[in-house]
Structure 1
Amino acid sequence: MTEEKASEAPDGDPKSDNGIPEEGGPPRGKWANKMEFIFSVSGEIIGLANIWLFPYLCFKNGGGAFFIPYFILLFFLGIPLFILETAVGQYTSEGGVTAWRKICPVFEGLGMASQVLVMYLNIYYIVILAWAIFYLYSSIKSPLPWTTCDNWWNTEHCFSTYTASYDPHFTQPDADWSFLHNVTTTSDYPDNLTYTAFFDHKSAAEEFFTKRVVRMSADMSLSNVHWDMALCLLIAWIMCYFCVWKGIRSTGKAVYFTVTFPYLLLVILFFRGVTLPGAWEGLKYFLMPDVAMLIQPKVWCDAASQVLYSHALCLGVLTSLGSYNKYNNDCYRDCLALCVLNSATGIFAGVVTFSFLGFMAQSYHLSMEVVVESGIGLVFVGFPKILSTMPVSSFWAVVFFLMILFLGLDSQFVCVESLATSITDMFPRHLRRPHARELLVLVIAVVCFLLALPLLTDGGMVLFQVIDVCGFSRITFFIIAFLETTVIAWLYGADRFCDNIEDMIGYRPFPVLKYCWLFVTPLICGLMMLYSLTERMHLYVYGYEPGESWLILGRLLMITPLMCIPLYIVITLCRNGNNITTPSSALRQAQPHKPILKLCECVIFKAQRPSSRSVDNRNEKMMMEEHGGV
Structure 2
Amino acid sequence: MELYSKCSVEDPSLEDDQSSSTETDQSETQERGRWGAKLDYMLSMVGYCVGLGNIWRFPYLCMRNGGGAFLIPFLFFLLACGLPLYFLEVSLGQFTGRGCFHVWEACPLFKGIGVGMFNVLFVVTLYYNIINTWTLYYLGSSFFTPLPWTTCDNAWNTPKCLHQSPNSLQQNGNSSLYGAYNSSLQSSVNSSNVNATILTVIGNVSDSTTSLEEFWFHRVLTLSSGLHDVGGLNWRLTLCFLAAWIVVCLCLIKGVKSLGKVVYVTATLPYLLLTVILIKGLTLPGATDGILFYIRPDFNKLANLQVWLEAGLQVFYSLGPAWGPLITMASYNKFHNNCYRDSIILTLVSEGTSIFGGFAIFTIVGYMAHQTGKPVDEVVQAGPGLAYLVYPEALSQLPFPNLWAVVFFVMLFTVGLDSQFATVEGCMTAISDSVPRLRKHKVFLAILTCSFFVISGLILCSKAGLYIFQLLDWYIAAFGLPLFGLLECLIFGWIYGAENMSRDIEIMLGRGVPVYMRILWCIVTPLLLLMLLISAIYMYRPPMVGSYTYPPYARAIGWFVAALPLIPIPLWGFHVIRNSHGITWYQKFCSSLQPSEDWKPVSSSECEKYRPGSREMRGGIKAMVLRNLLGKNV
Indicate the TM-score class for this superposition, using the shorter chain for normalisation.
0.7 to 0.9
Partner amino acid, structure 1, of 2:131? I
CA distance in structure 2 between the partners assigned to 1:233 and 1:54 by the alignment: 27
CA change 1:556–1:442 in 2 (3 A) is: same
SS at match of 2:624: strand
- The reply to whether residue 50 of structure 1 matches residue 54 of structure 2 is yes
Aligned to 2:595: 583
After TM superposition, the structure 1 = structure 2 runs for residues 259-278 of structure 1, keeping only pairs within 5 Å, are 259-278=267-286
CA distance in structure 2 between the partners assigned to 1:593 and 1:287 by the alignment: 49
Candidates 234, 238, 247, aligned match of 1:230: 238
**CA positional deviation for 1:532:** 1.8
- The reply to whether residue 382 of structure 1 matches residue 386 of structure 2 is no
After TM superposition, the structure 1 = structure 2 runs for residues 299-378 of structure 1, keeping only pairs within 5 Å, are 299-378=307-386
CA contact (8 A) 1:105 1:572 kept: yes
Aligned to 2:623: 603
SS at match of 2:549: coil
**CA positional deviation for 1:288:** 1.4
CA contact (8 A) 2:242 2:454 kept: yes
CA change 1:195–1:411 in 2 (3 A) is: farther
After TM superposition, the structure 1 = structure 2 runs for residues 117-132 of structure 1, keeping only pairs within 5 Å, are 117-132=120-135
Partner amino acid, structure 2, of 1:241? C
- The reply to whether residue 82 of structure 1 matches residue 94 of structure 2 is no
Deviation digits for residues 458-513 of structure 1 (CA, Å, limit 9, x no counterpart): 1111111111111221x222111101111111111101111211221122333111
CA distance in structure 1 between the partners assigned to 2:103 and 2:237 by the alignment: 38
CA change 1:298–1:376 in 2 (3 A) is: same
SS at match of 2:111: helix
CA contact (8 A) 1:17 1:29 kept: no
Partner amino acid, structure 2, of 1:104? C
CA distance in structure 1 between the partners assigned to 2:135 and 2:108 by the alignment: 42
Candidates 226, 238, 257, aligned match of 1:249: 257
**CA positional deviation for 1:341:** 0.2
Aligned to 2:476: 471
CA contact (8 A) 2:166 2:210 kept: no
CA change 1:205–1:599 in 2 (3 A) is: farther
- The reply to whether residue 451 of structure 1 matches residue 456 of structure 2 is yes
SS at match of 1:55: helix
CA distance in structure 1 between the partners assigned to 2:48 and 2:412 by the alignment: 14
Partner amino acid, structure 2, of 1:461? L
**CA positional deviation for 1:546:** 2.3
Partner amino acid, structure 2, of 1:432? R
CA distance in structure 2 between the partners assigned to 1:453 and 1:387 by the alignment: 30
Partner amino acid, structure 1, of 2:242? L
Aligned to 1:189: none
Aligned to 1:504: 508
- The reply to whether residue 552 of structure 1 matches residue 556 of structure 2 is yes
Aligned to 2:171: 171
CA contact (8 A) 1:465 1:539 kept: yes
CA change 1:533–1:27 in 2 (3 A) is: same
Aligned to 2:466: 461
Candidates 183, 205, 211, aligned match of 2:212: 205
Candidates 103, 108, 115, aligned match of 1:112: 115
- The reply to whether residue 523 of structure 1 matches residue 527 of structure 2 is yes
CA contact (8 A) 1:499 1:590 kept: no
**CA positional deviation for 1:33:** 1.6
**CA positional deviation for 1:268:** 0.5
Aligned to 1:611: none
CA contact (8 A) 1:273 1:355 kept: yes
CA distance in structure 2 between the partners assigned to 1:146 and 1:200 by the alignment: 19
After TM superposition, the structure 1 = structure 2 runs for residues 6-25 of structure 1, keeping only pairs within 5 Å, are 6-7=15-16, 21=25
CA contact (8 A) 2:57 2:383 kept: yes
Indicate the RMSD between aligned Cα atoms, in angstroms. Answer: 3.2
Which is further off, 485-494 or 437-446?
A: 437-446
**CA positional deviation for 1:249:** 1.0
Aligned to 1:403: 411
- The reply to whether residue 563 of structure 1 matches residue 567 of structure 2 is yes
CA contact (8 A) 1:317 1:415 kept: yes
**CA positional deviation for 1:457:** 1.2
- The reply to whether residue 72 of structure 1 matches residue 76 of structure 2 is yes
Which is further off, 17-26 or 39-48?
A: 17-26
Aligned to 1:258: 266
**CA positional deviation for 1:109:** 1.0
CA distance in structure 2 between the partners assigned to 1:198 and 1:401 by the alignment: 32
Aligned to 1:215: 222
Aligned to 2:186: none
SS at match of 1:562: coil
- The reply to whether residue 194 of structure 1 matches residue 194 of structure 2 is no
CA contact (8 A) 1:31 1:324 kept: yes
CA contact (8 A) 2:152 2:163 kept: yes
Partner amino acid, structure 2, of 1:106? L
SS at match of 1:315: coil
Aligned to 2:95: 91
Aligned length: 582
CA change 1:211–1:486 in 2 (3 A) is: same
**CA positional deviation for 1:261:** 1.3
Candidates 477, 484, 490, aligned match of 1:480: 484
CA distance in structure 1 between the partners assigned to 2:561 and 2:13 by the alignment: 47
CA change 1:208–1:421 in 2 (3 A) is: same
CA distance in structure 2 between the partners assigned to 1:112 and 1:198 by the alignment: 53
After TM superposition, the structure 1 = structure 2 runs for residues 533-548 of structure 1, keeping only pairs within 5 Å, are 533-548=537-552
Aligned to 2:182: none
Deviation digits for residues 413-457 of structure 1 (CA, Å, limit 9, x no counterpart): 1211111111111121x2123xx2222222221121122111111
Deviation digits for residues 286-340 of structure 1 (CA, Å, limit 9, x no counterpart): 1112222223232222111111111111111000111011110000000100000
CA contact (8 A) 2:12 2:34 kept: no
Aligned to 2:421: 413
CA distance in structure 2 between the partners assigned to 1:227 and 1:7 by the alignment: 49
Identity %: 33
CA change 1:107–1:606 in 2 (3 A) is: farther
**CA positional deviation for 1:274:** 1.7
Deviation digits for residues 374-399 of structure 1 (CA, Å, limit 9, x no counterpart): 11111011111110111100000000
SS at match of 2:550: coil
**CA positional deviation for 1:539:** 2.1
CA contact (8 A) 1:95 1:320 kept: yes
CA distance in structure 1 between the partners assigned to 2:486 and 2:144 by the alignment: 50
CA change 1:198–1:29 in 2 (3 A) is: farther
Gaps of 5+ in 1: 10-14, 181-191, 608-630
Deviation digits for residues 214-250 of structure 1 (CA, Å, limit 9, x no counterpart): 1112254224111211110100000000111111111
TM-score, length basis structure 2? 0.85
CA contact (8 A) 1:95 1:422 kept: yes
Gaps of 5+ in 2: 1-9, 179-198, 582-587, 602-608, 628-634
CA distance in structure 1 between the partners assigned to 2:621 and 2:386 by the alignment: 53
SS at match of 1:405: helix
- The reply to whether residue 514 of structure 1 matches residue 553 of structure 2 is no
CA distance in structure 2 between the partners assigned to 1:171 and 1:58 by the alignment: 28
CA distance in structure 1 between the partners assigned to 2:302 and 2:202 by the alignment: 30
Which is further off, 241-250 or 591-600?
A: 591-600
